[in-house]
Amino acid sequence: MNVQPVLVTGVGGGVGGVGGTVVDRLRAAGVPVRALVHHDDERAAPLRAMKDVDVIVGDLTRGPDVVRALEGCRRAYFGMSVSPAYLEAATTVAAAARREGGLELLVNMSQMTVSQMDLTGEEESRQQRMHWLAEQVLDWSGVPVVHVRPTVFMENPLFARIAVASILRDGTIRLPFGSARTSPVSARDVADVVACLLLDPVPRTGRVYELTGERSRDMAAVAAEFSAALGRPVTYVDVPYEEWLERDLKGLDLPPHVFDHIATMARLHGRNRYDRVTDDVAGLLGRPPRGFDSLVEDTPALRAG
């Protein structure tokens, strides 16, 4: 692989910190990184202290910022937190990459719902529709792109905040999923896949990778996984959707766009839209995906409780 820097966006935030982990993986492989951060704050300071990391402050919706970030890069990762500006950012990245030329690979962070969507779908959240449209734009741009589509991160608020809170409170997982099945994937596994693709000497342009956990199971089985990892009983409580919105989700005080997205994910879970399993993680990384025991390990409050 060439020694030109790899552009990594979304380094300063996002569920599970995928961008930051990708930076770590690339540095461990001896590849220089250009890290694009939105704010020059305390999250950018550790990046500036890292060897072979060039930190650029910019806005993904501003063409001049994206052009400056891409200059001299042959490979790039585009990922962005849930945001009303997501489609504008994706389109700006596509236009800048097309204008600059010379990019041999762009890894785009999408999501699994796109695999089940088309232009006429009306069940999905605005964020999910923007992911579908962003894939269309990137494909139309002619930029050499690979789409990565995780199901749902284990670090999503559905699990890492709402489920963790009720486990700590009374040993239950309160979600409106009914008997539906799901296959959450660890953000670290997703970051490892992104890094693997960026480090591949032969770009896999045009490919789509659908990333899931090792198996799909209902929430009773997920609760059993938490029980085994914690060494104490955890049970699943199926909560009516509207009650859950009022009692659990609204308490997180999320911005309206994020609230709509998480609420839609919960509703689609109940309709079994996340009952998906692929071997793409194992095929790329040579090991099985992580389970919920990894979320327990990364959540000190659970271990202490």
pLDDT in tens, 264-282: 999 999 999 999 999 999 9
Q: In the structure encoding, which two tokens stand for residue 238, read together?
A: 């199926």
pLDDT at residue 193, rounded to an integer: 98
Q: 148-181 as b/e, with b when 16 or more CB fall inside 10 Å?
A: bbbbbbbbbbbbbbbbbbbbeeebbbbbbbeebb
Q: How many CB atoms lie within 10 A of CB 211?
A: 25
Count how many residues are written for the chain.
Answer: 305
**CA 133 – CA 136 distance, rounded (Å):** 5
pLDDT at residue 17, rounded to an integer: 87
Percentage of the chain beyond pLDDT 90 is 87
Q: How big is the CA angle at 149 (ends 157 and 30), to the nearest 5 degrees?
A: 95
Instruction: Give the H or E element holding residue 108.
Output: strand 105-109
pLDDT at residue 48, rounded to an integer: 80
**CA 131 – CA 110 distance, rounded (Å):** 6
As a whole number, the mean pLDDT across the chain is 94
Question: Average of pLDDT values for 151-169?
Answer: 96
Q: How many CB atoms lie within 10 A of CB 254?
A: 17
Q: In the structure encoding, which two tokens stand for residue 168, read together?
A: 């700590």
Question: Average of pLDDT values for 177-190?
Answer: 98
Q: Is 1 a residue whose pLDDT tops 60?
A: no
pLDDT in tens, 162-178: 999 999 999 999 999 99
pLDDT at residue 280, rounded to an integer: 98
Q: Is 14 a residue whose pLDDT tops 80?
A: no
Under 8 Å between Cβ of 176 and 270: yes
Question: Average of pLDDT values for 39-66?
Answer: 87
**CA 270 – CA 183 distance, rounded (Å):** 13
Q: Is 305 a residue whose pLDDT tops 70?
A: no
Which class for 67: exposed (0-12), middle (13-18), buried (19 or more C-beta within 10 A)? middle
Percentage of the chain beyond pLDDT 70 is 98
pLDDT band at 304 (very low <50, low <70, confident <90, very high): confident
Q: How many CB atoms lie within 10 A of CB 236?
A: 21
HSE-CB for 95 with a 13 A CA cutoff: 13
Instruction: Give the H or E element holding residue 33.
Output: strand 33-37
Confirm whether pTM is higher than 0.85.
yes
Q: Is 259 a residue whose pLDDT tops 80?
A: yes
